[in-house]
Structure 1
Amino acid sequence: MFAQDEPLKIGVVGLTHSHVHWILGNENKNDFEIVGIVESNKDLAKRYTEQHGYSMDIVYNTMEEMIDATQPEAVTAFGAIYEHLEVVETCAPKGIHVMVEKPLAVSLEHAKKMEALAKEHNIVLLTNFETTWYPTNHRAKELVEDGAIGYIRKVVIRDGHKGPKKIGVNKEFLEWLTDPVQNGGGAITDFGCYGVNLMTWLMNGKKPISVTAVTQQQQALNNPKVDDDATIILTYNNVNATIQASWNWPIGRKDMEIYGLDGAIYADNRHDLRLRISEGYDGFAEESYKLEERQAPFNDPFSFFAAVINKQVTLKPYDLSSLENNMLVMEILDAAIQSAKTKTTIDLKQ
């Protein structure tokens, strides 16, 4: 249904974000073709090209060199978050579409510049979150919209792991991931963005009234420059969300709980979902689901990127990957960082 004559020509900009293995090792290569890689660290480039069977002949020092040599239709950015703006500044005027790893930008200021460039030059600018491709999250939203648990009142979203150093992140990634300039913060940006993205989608783009955040540094030796634990509270009319983003979970997790007037939905991981309907004071009837992967191209970020560019898929309002969703994510994260620093609740302009 989504077949195209020619695979999309993609350039990979940066290899220091280890999520890059997602595209280098991707099996849906009939939808896209990697025509060039930009990476000045040749040791890193050699390691990854050898691992995934690419030639060093397609590795370039700069975006300009790669673009001139390979003429990509789109690029995916896998460098530091701070570098996302430069990628859009280089590619947008040339009509080259861009997908960045989450979050969209290092700050709201950068995000606004990226948005203006994307609109001026009419390019697709998407943000890729791992949780976008979880069938459980999509089923949870369907259940909410079908009224399965009544009007939602509370959402709790938890994301994170033991911390970059503890899970053995490679040195090129660790160097910028724990830097407040290159990453914009620690866990508050790295994992806080997941929950804010999902909540913005669940609320169909409705802006929270206020944002309150508390951050801590529980591993000062491992993360000396940034927070490694954040709790973000979003307040809406009759609804609130608690986002727990941490590099201090003993077990890595990406899960969501949605509480309505009549029951609760637990998206426990990518495939496991539970629906509980209230019975009496603390009783409930529970249904469990083991969900299959979503159908192509809705199961893969790069096939989805190609389908959007080729107008085979139209982004829904406040789609998880969309620019409008992720501009609001940046506004909320900006307020959360400000809240944590000032120890105050930040009211958002409506």
Structure 2
Amino acid sequence: MRAIAMISLLFLFVNNVGMAQTNRQVKVGIAGLTHSHVHWILGNPGSEIAIVGIAEPNRELAGRYAARYGFSMDIVYNTVEEMIARTKPEAVTAFGSIYDHLAVVEACAPKGVHVMVEKPLAVSLDHAKKMKTLAEKHKIHLITNYETTWYPSNHHAFEMVGKNEIGELRKIVVHDGHEGPKEIGVNKEFLDWLTDPVKNGGGAIMDFGCYGANLITWLNKGQRPLSVTAVTQQIKPHVYPKVDDEATIIVEYPGMQGVIQASWNWPYSRKDMEVYGVGGYIFSDNRVDMRMRLGKDTVSLAYKAADTLKYRDPFTLLADLVRGATKLPPNDLSSLENNMIVMEILDAGVRSAKTGKRVYLNKK
């Protein structure tokens, strides 16, 4: 009986340690503050993570955010390397320029520090390949965050497509963008690199083209496209003299097309999607509002998607990945596999726009 009691106590101890490990806060560092999406983690990091350090050389910018969000300037460091050495984060979230993503992974991966970058994955396909190699070599999670990943409407559309409710896919049209970053009043630090062809890799084609590439790849179950054709314009060269502000990307698949409309010229902000099959359509108009027509003889119905997502923000997902409490499916919206295809599409789109020719993707 005493042996049984000892075994029971040991089981309870191990089980409690495991639960504590699963429920503990994950130590997270922030690399850069110039991307305005950083307000999400600073304003509402959730209970799953603890922000232990920030790497930002712009002390004036860091001071403004410290005053706004109440963090101490004692946790702000000039470099990612110094921040990692001093604070020992388990994961780092990148909120600087897209060009800086590679440097963040180069600093983190050899130390076993996981990385989440804000969309898109990289500034170029070349950078993305180097990041993938480092992540795989050092066995870290490397995920990409998109606002639209957390839209219940998109997930409901994905489920409907998986159940064949509109039949075989024929066309997916994704609209993303707004009136323009300067027009909507983004902060100077963000605008400076967002309109730089080196630091952002382009203008609207990179800033908003990535959303459509991500969603279309997801709905196509991770299939690589046959070809990519893109047209970019500078409708407002007096405002954006160095980068495009208008982009349309056509992505060809066997039996269907994807159309990505990325713009800094919409009359209003939008992130919506139209999915057409041989027997109907599904429109995700925003985060929850949907319209659908299932069958040629039916009428269009309005629908509000229920928020039943397991994860509602990237930080909870990141924490569970670090703790080993979850795994990403290969084609997940945040996954490296999906976002490497996104980078192939964007890379081909940039080349197509420059040459005026369709770019064919080599089969692997």
TM over 0.5: yes
Equivalent AA in structure 2 for residue 316 of structure 1? P
In the superposition, relative to structure 1, how do residues 184 and 8 fare at CA in structure 2: closer, same or farther (>3 Å)? same
Contact kept in structure 1, 2:45 and 2:315, CA below 8 Å = no
Report matched runs for 1:99-178 at 5 Å. 99-178=116-195
Number of the residue aligned with 1:288: 302
Number of the residue aligned with 2:336: 323
Task: Pick one of 59, 64, 73 that aligns with 1:56.
Answer: 73
CA deviations over 1:91-119 (Å, ceiling 9, x no partner) = 00000000000000000000000000000
Equivalent AA in structure 1 for residue 111 of structure 2? K
Rg comparison, structure with higher value: 2
Equivalent AA in structure 1 for residue 354 of structure 2? K
Structure 1 gaps of 5+ residues are none
Contact kept in structure 2, 1:211 and 1:335, CA below 8 Å = yes
Correspondence 1:75 to 2:92: yes
Contact kept in structure 1, 2:171 and 2:275, CA below 8 Å = yes
Shift of residue 69, structure 1, vs aligned partner: 1.2
Equivalent AA in structure 2 for residue 240 of structure 1? Q
Number of the residue aligned with 2:203: 186
Report matched runs for 1:89-100 at 5 Å. 89-100=106-117
Number of the residue aligned with 1:24: 42
Contact kept in structure 1, 2:92 and 2:114, CA below 8 Å = yes
Correspondence 1:6 to 2:24: yes
Query: Aligned-pair RMSD on alpha carbons?
Result: 1.4
Report matched runs for 1:203-282 at 5 Å. 203-280=220-297
Shift of residue 172, structure 1, vs aligned partner: 0.3
Aligned length: 345
| Normalised TM-score (structure 1) | 0.96
Number of the residue aligned with 1:310: 323
| Normalised TM-score (structure 2) | 0.93
Number of the residue aligned with 2:15: none
Number of the residue aligned with 2:6: none
Contact kept in structure 2, 1:10 and 1:35, CA below 8 Å = yes
Task: Pick one of 51, 63, 70 that aligns with 1:34.
Answer: 51
CA deviations over 1:110-145 (Å, ceiling 9, x no partner) = 000000000000000000011011111000010011
Contact kept in structure 2, 1:2 and 1:312, CA below 8 Å = no
Distance in 2, matches of 1:104 and 1:147, equals 30
In the superposition, relative to structure 1, how do residues 82 and 124 fare at CA in structure 2: closer, same or farther (>3 Å)? same
User: Greater helix percent: which structure?
Assistant: 2
SS of structure 1 residue aligned to 2:182: coil
CA deviations over 1:279-334 (Å, ceiling 9, x no partner) = 35xxx4233222233444x1110111111121211101211000011111111110
Distance in 1, matches of 2:34 and 2:80, equals 15
Equivalent AA in structure 2 for residue 151 of structure 1? E
Shift of residue 3, structure 1, vs aligned partner: 8.7
Contact kept in structure 2, 1:3 and 1:31, CA below 8 Å = no
Structure 2 gaps of 5+ residues are 1-18
Number of the residue aligned with 1:87: 104
Equivalent AA in structure 1 for residue 29 of structure 2? G
Shift of residue 2, structure 1, vs aligned partner: 11
Equivalent AA in structure 1 for residue 331 of structure 2? Y
CA deviations over 1:38-86 (Å, ceiling 9, x no partner) = 1111110011111111111111111122111110000000000000000
Correspondence 1:338 to 2:355: no
CA deviations over 1:242-289 (Å, ceiling 9, x no partner) = 100000000110000000111100000001111112435xxx423322
Runs of 4+ in 1 over 6 A off after TM superposition: none
